[in-house]
Amino acid sequence: MNCNLCPRRCNIDRNLGKGYCGESNEIKIAKYSLFMFEEPCISGEKGSGAIFFSGCSLKCVFCQNYDISSLDFGKTITPNKLAEIFKELEEMGAENINLVNPTHFVKGIIEALKIYKPNIPVVYNTHGYENIETLNEISKYVDVFLPDLKYIDPMLSSKYSKCGDYFEKTSKVLLAMRKLKEDKFENGMMKQGLIIRHLILPLCTYDSIKILEWIKQNLLQTKVSLMAQYTPYAKASNYPEINRKITKREYDKVVSKYLELNLDGYVQERDSSSTIYIPKWDFVWQFLMLTLLQFKCNIKLILRVRGNNIIMMVNVFSLISKALDVAVTKFDSKDSINSKLYGIYAQFKSCVNDLPVAQLNYLYDQMETSCDRAKCLYSKSGNLDDLKIADVYQKFQKIISAKLESLKEYGKEYEI
């Protein structure tokens, strides 16, 4: 059956390929653990049993979980294994089972919940961009809805999440969630119900205020979690207006409106803006090894298409490997490293000259993905070698880009 779980409606068979979310039908997770950084009525004293799913059907440019939402870090598991994880977290004392970004794996999650339904609440922790049909399907198996309401302005949602219909879809979903789950608390912990989250973005206070007013008018007595933890991450550096934390003035303006409207819920302190809230992913090395194997398999497939390019492609990947080795090797001087790299880049430029567009596009995509991964690893580890590796991939990407542009100029962009 083709996938239309989210409003993207890719309509593809995820047994054979991947949708906008970047995932096949196989469940993939990046981490599971007791997590203390949710709202107090979710984390409690023992922590929420959070399961972080890989991939995402929204892919915001500023995503703090970019490593797993867009770079596909994670480990593939079966519904049976997911059911075992439910049990394990429950035995660890989790206050609830917290399904983080679950939309694109709803089918597998339901299968796991049929195998084992925890004796603690199940939280559906989502970006809010959902289909009503999917919501109705999962609502029978979960107890608490924890959605985002990110934007009202379609220009913002188009620019930062590539979905101009975000508010149109999400507003209907929130109203449906409210009807499906009445709030129930025990000893300060939410056992059933709805909490709406909103993250304040730089230069977007007007939109935050509209969101708070809409909630007040349409979702009376619904708890609102106002978040101030925005930290520039992922591709935020490509958007200067959001490539910073929110200011005190921006924070005070939105919080004042929250208080003026007499909303109930939680307000995060402004100093919560930190990468400390970004989890350390558990399956990074398994992912990198798997990616390397897939990389080699893809190369073989491409070589079958154009067998006469085997030697050239082997040379290309040999040069990439050599450049990475040079970049992280200690030489007598920086000049020595740059000299060696310059020679490799010159050879690479010569090598790709005769490659067809199909292979050039493939190489370009691989360089871009590899560069993003290296940058993310650097942001976590602070290891300068990761930064050097990112720079090497970026240089190769520029060489390929220049070649593709020259082909377009001569009308060869459709060459196979």
pLDDT in tens, 266-302: 999 887 655 555 565 555 545 555 555 555 455 444 4
Domain boundary among 277, 298, 325: 277
Residue 253 forms part of a structural domain? yes
Euclidean distance between the first and final Cα of the chain, in Å?
31
Answer yes or no: do 87 and 33 share one domain: yes
CATH number at residue 140: 3.20.20.70
Instruction: Give strand pairing partners of 28.
Output: 76
Answer yes or no: do 260 and 120 share one domain: yes
Total domains in the fold of the chain: 2
Cα distances (Å, whole numbers) of residue 349 to 187, 355, 357, 400: 66, 11, 14, 8
Question: What does the pLDDT read at residue 297?
Answer: 52
CA distance 152 to 173: 14
Answer yes or no: do 262 and 289 share one domain: no
CB 122 within 8 A of CB 142: yes
pLDDT at 411 over 90: no
Residue 22 forms part of a structural domain? no
Alpha helices, H only, 198-356: 205-218, 248-260, 284-305, 310-328, 334-352
Residue 58 forms part of a structural domain? yes
| pLDDT level of residue 415 (50, 70, 90 thresholds) | very low
pLDDT at 327 over 70: yes
- Non-local (6+) Cβ contacts of 106 within 8 A are 5, 134, 137, 138
Residue 367 forms part of a structural domain? yes
Q: What angle do CA 222, 228, 234 make, to 5 degrees?
A: 115
Average pLDDT over residues 66-87: 90
Domain boundary among 277, 301, 322: 277
- The closest of 131, 264, 97 to 195, measured between CA atoms, is 264
The pLDDT tens digits of the residues spanning 231-260 come to: 988 889 899 999 999 999 999 999 999 999
- Please name the residue that has the structure tokens 């196979």: 416
Question: What does the pLDDT read at residue 302?
Answer: 47
Q: What percent of the chain has pLDDT over 70?
A: 85
Answer yes or no: do 221 and 340 share one domain: no
Which has more pLDDT, 389 or 274? 389
Residues 203-207: contacts with CB within 8 Å, 24+ apart? 203/241, 203/242, 203/250, 204/151, 204/153, 204/156, 204/242, 205/250, 205/253, 205/254, 206/153, 207/151, 207/152, 207/153, 207/156
Instruction: Supply φ then ψ for residue 397, to 5 degrees.
Output: -60, -40
Average pLDDT over residues 316-321: 73
Answer yes or no: do 86 and 202 share one domain: yes
Residue 199 forms part of a structural domain? yes
Answer yes or no: do 148 and 198 share one domain: yes
Answer yes or no: do 237 and 334 share one domain: no
Question: What does the pLDDT read at residue 383?
Answer: 75
Residue 293 forms part of a structural domain? yes
Domain boundary among 229, 260, 277: 277
Question: What does the pLDDT read at residue 209?
Answer: 97
Residue 414 forms part of a structural domain? no
CA distance 28 to 270: 33
- The closest of 183, 219, 181, 180 to 198, measured between CA atoms, is 219
Answer yes or no: do 213 and 167 share one domain: yes
Q: What percent of the chain has pLDDT over 90?
A: 57
Answer yes or no: do 90 and 191 share one domain: yes
Answer yes or no: do 89 and 186 share one domain: yes
Answer yes or no: do 343 and 400 share one domain: yes
Going by the DSSP 8-state scheme, the letter that residue 34 receives in this structure is: E
CA distance 102 to 325: 39
Domain assignment of residue 233, given as a range: 27-277
- Non-local (6+) Cβ contacts of 142 within 8 A are 99, 122, 123, 124
* C-alpha Rg value of the chain to the nearest Å: 24
Answer yes or no: do 214 and 253 share one domain: yes
